[in-house]
Amino acid sequence: MVSDVFTIKRGIMHTFDRIASDYSSKRRKIWPEVKLVHGRRVLDAGCGHGRNSRYFLEMGSDVFSADISMEMLKIARKNISDAELIQCDITFLPFRDNAFDCVLLVATLHHVPSKPERLKTLKEIYRVTSHEGRVLITVWSIFQPRFFKKIPRMMADRVLGRVKELWDTYIPWGKEKRYYHLFSKRELLNLVKKAGFYSITIYKKGFFPENHVVVARKGVKDGKAR
């Protein structure tokens, strides 16, 4: 039976609370793609234990690090004590309009259940991004070798109503399972455009990349606010 959005979000929060210690010990390196963007005032939305936030602190930025998992934020407090830490649902960001000139949404959007919620998330990101500000988005790709054998099962799960949308799945971490929505490049680009961003650049590694990486901009085009 398909769970509702609130139930899935609550499950994501509790799952990352339970795996926080193990996850943070095994995911220490920053995502190299974060070096594609920069800013004076940075939001790391879905910061986890703070590995990407640390890079921007070292660059001299004012960093605000947000996550749904309190246990992740407790670990982040030890790693990035100079950042402002906020527990929140990224679909409802507690920040004013145009607050940040750089926003990271790294390995986070694919944990948001349902297309309307993902669009709402990107519109919130758009809202808090300043004009000419840049946003880095990374998501897992459906068309990567480790998922090829799982594609028929994922299609069957959707037909049988076991998941909410096609390419929704659960990926294990030890005994826990994490919700993911796996993306095609087209789906991600359409969603980013629909949220209002332009000057969208997608970075690709290999023919079947593990991640889709997008840098998008909010600004003024043809004399009109975007």
Between CA 25 and CA 27 the distance in angstroms is 6
Classify residue 176: in a domain, yes or no: yes
Q: Say whether pLDDT at 157 is over 80.
A: yes
Classify residue 9: in a domain, yes or no: yes
Classify residue 162: in a domain, yes or no: yes
Strand partners, 217: 134, 198
pLDDT band per the 50, 70, 90 thresholds, residue 1: very low
Q: What is the CATH number of the domain that holds 134?
A: 3.40.50.150
Number of domains making up the chain? 1
pLDDT band per the 50, 70, 90 thresholds, residue 224: very low
Classify residue 222: in a domain, yes or no: no
Classify residue 163: in a domain, yes or no: yes
Classify residue 120: in a domain, yes or no: yes
- 42-81 tens-digit pLDDT: 999 999 999 999 999 999 999 999 999 999 999 999 999 9
Print the domain residue range for 210.
5-217
Residue 224 or residue 115, greater confidence: 115
- 172-206 tens-digit pLDDT: 999 999 999 999 999 999 999 999 998 899 998 88
Between CA 128 and CA 103 the distance in angstroms is 9
Classify residue 184: in a domain, yes or no: yes
Classify residue 224: in a domain, yes or no: no
For residue 45, what are the CA distances in angstroms to 66, 67, 160? 5, 6, 33
